[in-house]
């Protein structure tokens, strides 16, 4: 089996223990991963702290940081094929998507490379004639980055890129499920020439690695992507170090289709929104809310498309849906579908695991009109679509907002004024109109409610990794007249 190592303080090393990583397409172990525990975490955080305040990184200019990020971007682009194959092998995500996504990840690093020397302070027009006052933006400190297994090179780039641009150092914890691509990315970080300790990459389990990282006293900020339950634990851990937190969590995103929409386009977007990445996407459009007048026709079109989807080896470029990432995830999806059908949901398509090795589950559609189905409230993180219908725009908006989540939403209509009303009314951090799953390094993303706090992407993300320092300079040569009066 292939053997991977942690990357701490510019060196590759084993963890305190090791564990096997499972190939989701076969259900068999394919690689040995380092299991970082508390001592490894402490070593990584201290290396990042030393690099930030005392090492060469402390004397690296913003322009030099940008050049290093450009070099990393070029290396990611050059090794995109290898990284894509590793991500596919370790997570089951299909090769046609990992290849395209990782090639685009390089653009995120290029975007933040360009931002590095554009993070500016300001001069304040203060109300005192004998004072000059400036605001400096300085790195917030050592960042703990906790990244999930799905789209991990993308979800790490939107953290690593802005944090490096801002001048921070970091410890990146890859998920214990499928950490290979992030551990491999560390080799590119090393090759790019970042000083030791600036970027540290580890993996391990929540209680022995994640908890130690999120509560470490030298951590200043925690950037977490994952589920709400783990996020609550991260927030509790942060009480130990009072670190600031950004959370990019899950979703139960509404996908609204009106009768005047281009149904073929909407159906293709819905297929992409829920069945791409085998539904393992935080922005998955898992709740179809379709106008009653076209419900039967639109659902029939989706059923036809779902049943034509090619299920197969994720390394085969012809495959459109691969396996779920873990056995426990496949088992959870099966249980949620079964409980939804028991509650009255009508099975339209899919619903039974194929008889083959690996953690496969087919594209599944459930008609949930008029029932309280578990599929409407729980994030599956799998290829399962729940269908509801509406008669009026007001009813569609009510259904869209009937969730504690608020990450993304899709609206399909040719009525521009209606689209604007819904854009304003939907409580979500992202609203796509007549499209879905579009991303850009320039555009921030993040959620409302249980979908998290803070934003990733765009200039604002880089500023979030800074803190302001106010500098006062008295310009008068006269003695301070009264030391007991605040001026």
Which CATH number do you get for residue 145?
A: 3.40.605.10
CATH number at residue 366: 3.40.309.10
The boundaries of the domain holding residue 221 are 2-249+447-471
- Phi-psi bin for 155: left (phi > 0), alpha (psi -120 to 50), beta? alpha
Domains in the chain, number: 2
In-domain check, residue 483: no
Tokens of 25: 């397409």
For residue 248, indicate whether it is catalytic. Answer: yes
344 shares its domain with 415: yes
In-domain check, residue 461: yes
314 shares its domain with 456: no
238 shares its domain with 336: no
223 shares its domain with 155: yes
428 shares its domain with 466: no
Return the sign of the alpha-carbon dihedral for residues 136, 142, 146, 149. Answer: positive
218 shares its domain with 265: no
291 shares its domain with 214: no
From CA 253, how far away is CA 405, in angstroms rounded? 8
- pLDDT tens string, the chain, 487 residues long: the values are 899 999 999 999 999 999 999 999 999 999 999 999 999 999 999 999 999 999 999 999 999 999 999 999 999 999 999 999 999 999 999 999 999 999 999 999 999 999 999 999 999 999 999 999 999 999 999 999 999 999 899 999 999 999 999 999 999 999 999 999 999 999 999 999 999 999 999 999 999 999 999 999 999 999 999 999 999 999 999 999 999 999 999 999 999 999 999 999 999 999 999 999 999 999 999 999 999 999 999 999 999 999 999 999 999 999 999 999 999 999 999 999 999 999 999 999 999 888 889 999 999 999 999 999 999 999 999 999 999 999 999 999 999 999 999 999 999 999 999 999 999 999 999 999 999 999 999 999 999 999 999 999 999 999 999 999 999 999 999 999 898 988 7
18 shares its domain with 154: yes
From CA 389, how far away is CA 210, in angstroms rounded? 42
In-domain check, residue 141: yes
227 shares its domain with 356: no
234 shares its domain with 271: no
275 shares its domain with 129: no
From CA 394, how far away is CA 336, in angstroms rounded? 29
From CA 262, how far away is CA 434, in angstroms rounded? 9
195 shares its domain with 97: yes
Active-site annotation holder among 35, 97, 248, 379: 248
């Amino acid at each position: 089996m292939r053997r991977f190592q942690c990357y701490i303080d510019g060196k590759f090393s084993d963890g305190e223990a090791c564990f096997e990583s499972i190939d989701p397409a076969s259900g068999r172990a394919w690689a040995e991963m380092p299991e970082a525990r508390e001592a490894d975490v402490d070593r990584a955080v201290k290396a990042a702290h030393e690099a930030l305040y005392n090492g060469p990184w402390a004397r690296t200019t913003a322009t030099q940081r940008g050049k290093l990020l450009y070099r990393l971007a070029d290396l990611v682009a050059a090794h995109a094929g290898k990284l894509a194959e590793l991500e596919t092998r370790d997570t089951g995500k299909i090769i046609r998507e990992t290849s395209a996504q990782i090639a685009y990840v390089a653009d995120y690093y290029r975007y933040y490379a360009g931002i590095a020397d554009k993070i500016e302070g300001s001069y304040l027009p203060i109300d005192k004639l004998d004072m000059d006052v400036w605001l400096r933006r300085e790195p917030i400190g050592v960042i703990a980055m906790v990244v999930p297994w799905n789209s991990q090179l993308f979800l790490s780039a939107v953290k690593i890129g802005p944090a490096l641009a801002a001048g921070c150092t970091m410890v990146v914890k890859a998920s214990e499920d499928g950490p290979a691509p992030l551990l491999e990315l560390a080799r590119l970080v090393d090759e790019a020439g970042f000083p030791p300790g600036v970027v540290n990459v580890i993996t391990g389990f929540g209680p022995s690695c994640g908890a130690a990282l999120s509560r470490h006293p030298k951590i200043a900020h925690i950037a977490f992507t994952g589920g709400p339950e783990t996020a609550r634990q991260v927030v509790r851990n942060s009480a130990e170090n009072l670190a600031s937190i950004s959370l990019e969590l899950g979703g139960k995103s509404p996908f609204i289709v009106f009768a005047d929409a281009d149904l073929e386009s909407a159906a293709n977007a819905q297929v992409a929104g829920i069945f791409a990445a085998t539904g393992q996407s935080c922005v998955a459009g898992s709740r179809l809310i379709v106008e009653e007048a076209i419900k039967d026709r639109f659902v029939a079109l989706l059923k036809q498309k779902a049943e034509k989807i090619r299920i197969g080896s994720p390394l085969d470029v012809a495959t459109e849906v691969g396996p779920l990432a873990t056995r426990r995830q496949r088992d959870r999806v099966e249980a949620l579908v079964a409980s939804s059908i028991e509650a009255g949901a009508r099975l339209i398509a899919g619903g039974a695991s194929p008889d083959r090795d690996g953690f496969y589950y087919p594209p599944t559609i459930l008609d949930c009109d008029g029932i309280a189905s578990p599929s409407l409230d729980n994030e599956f993180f799998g290829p399962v679509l729940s269908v509801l219908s509406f008669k009026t725009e007001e009813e569609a908006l009510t259904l869209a907002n009937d969730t504690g989540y608020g990450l993304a939403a899709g609206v399909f209509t040719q009525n521009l004024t209606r689209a604007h009303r819904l854009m304003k009314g939907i409580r979500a951090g992202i609203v796509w109109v007549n499209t879905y799953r579009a991303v850009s390094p320039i555009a921030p993303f993040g959620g409302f409610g249980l979908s998290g706090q803070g934003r990733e992407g765009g200039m604002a993300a880089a500023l979030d990794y800074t803190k302001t320092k106010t500098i006062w300079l008295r310009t008068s040569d006269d003695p301070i007249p009264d030391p007991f009066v605040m001026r």
